[in-house]
Structures are given as C-alpha cells and as structure tokens.
Chain A
Amino acid sequence: NAGVTQTPKFQVLKTGQSMTLQCAQDMNHNSMYWYRQDPGMGLRLIYYSASEGTTDKGEVPNGYNVSRLNKREFSLRLESAAPSQTSVYFCASSPQTSHETQYFGPGTRLLVL
C-alpha cells in the first residue's frame, strides 16, 4: 500500500517551458488535491477534484491546469512556467466527507529559472 505517490521528486525548468506533475493514490479515495508550499506561507490549495470527472479551482489556480484521469490519478500541468511558480507541490487525497483527513504525497520540488 503506497498511499499517495508523486513524480517527479525534483524538476528544474526554464521560464516558458511546460511540464506535468503526476499524482496517484491507491486508497480508493474520491477526492484529490494539489497544493503548493512557499517559504513562510504554509500550504495553499491550487485545484481539487471532489470526485472522478470533476475539478474545481482553489485559492491560487492561475497558471495551472489539472486533469482527473481516473479515480486514482490527478495531474497538474504548468503550460508556461514562471519563476513565481518555484515551489514545493504536494498532492493529497481524502474520502468524500469534509471532516476526513487528507493524506499527502512526498512532494515535488520545482525550480523555474
């Protein structure tokens, strides 16, 4: 039981390049999330998917797109990377209800030059 997995672990991009961060969970959770963590700011929600086939914006969605490929997988795409998107990205999953704990992946460190 791997929980939540993320690839890659680390990535360096040049401004304007695109990339997709992959996330998968094997806990049969309905909901999945993408957060970013910047120094001194805690985690902020980028996008979430409450269930397979649905996605919605979080607090900081600009510059990102997401795809809920199936129940297990939720990807985050940067179409044209900017230095402001340098951050650590966390994927998380949870069962449907609002009081359920979210379980996090190990994170992806992204550096945009």
Chain B
Amino acid sequence: AQKITQTQPGMFVQEKEAVTLDCTYDTSDPSYGLFWYKQPSSGEMIFLIYQGSYDQQNATEGRYSLNFQKARKSANLVISASQLGDSAMYFCAMRPAQTGANNLFFGTGTRLTVIP
C-alpha cells in the first residue's frame, strides 16, 4: 500500500526565514516520484518541485529544495527566504512507477503561515 504522511497540520515562519515542511512516505515500489504542491487560499494546485527515487542529487527550484533521504523514506520541502505569498497549504504526493502508477497519493497537507 502507498501512504504519505505529513505530521505538521500547521506551521508558522517569520518572513525572510527558512522553513522545513515534513513528509514521509511508504511504498514497496523500487521506483517512484515525489512531488510537492502549493494550494493558496484561491484553491488551485500549483506544482512546486519533483524528486525521482533514483535521482542522485536533491531537487531544487528557486527558493524550494527537497531534502530527500531515501533510507528514511522522507522528502521534506525546504523553503528559503519565506515571503508573505508563501502562506498556503502544502501537499506532499507520491507516484509509484508500478503499483497504482496512474495515481498521485497525497498527504493531508501542512498549512504554512508567514508572519511579517
């Protein structure tokens, strides 16, 4: 079975500081993709960053980086230099290459609030 766990229902961060949003996953598939999405209050789902299970280096996209620890099955999102516009829900998701390959399995999300 595939499972994504986000244990932080809510997080606060001071503007311009860095913040880490936790994500752990469980899968028996040897190959999989890990994704982070942002959902602002307007409701749309915005793709942020992707990490493949066989990628040697951690993914980075601008102020977003993914701290991938395969042995621990964790894929934490790091946002550097937080901005007020970063306030949103953040979802971690996994897509296995084989079992349920067409499904993105989502965690329950973390609500991030950036404080001025």
* A binding-site residues for B, Cβ under 8 Å: 31, 33, 35, 40-45, 48, 50, 56, 58-59, 88, 90, 92, 98-99, 101-107, 109
Chain B interface size range: 20 to 34
Q: Which 9 A-B pairs have the closest CB atoms?
A: A42-B106, A104-B45, A98-B101, A99-B33, A43-B106, A45-B103, A98-B97, A48-B102, A42-B108
Identify the B interface with A (CB < 8 A): 4, 33, 35, 37, 43-47, 50, 52, 91, 93, 95-98, 101-104, 106-109
Are A42 and B91 touching (Cβ within 8 A)?
yes
Nearest CB of chain A from residue B26's CB, rounded to whole Å: 15
B44 touches A107 (CB 8 A): yes
Residue of A nearest to B98 (CB): A98
Distance A102 CA – B91 CA, assembled complex (angstroms): 13
Partner of A41, one of B35, B46, B93, B108: B108
Residues of A within 8 A of B91 (CB): 42-43
Min CB gap A63→B, angstroms: 18
Give 6 CB contacts A-B under 8 Å: A41-B108, A58-B102, A98-B96, A99-B52, A104-B37, A104-B44
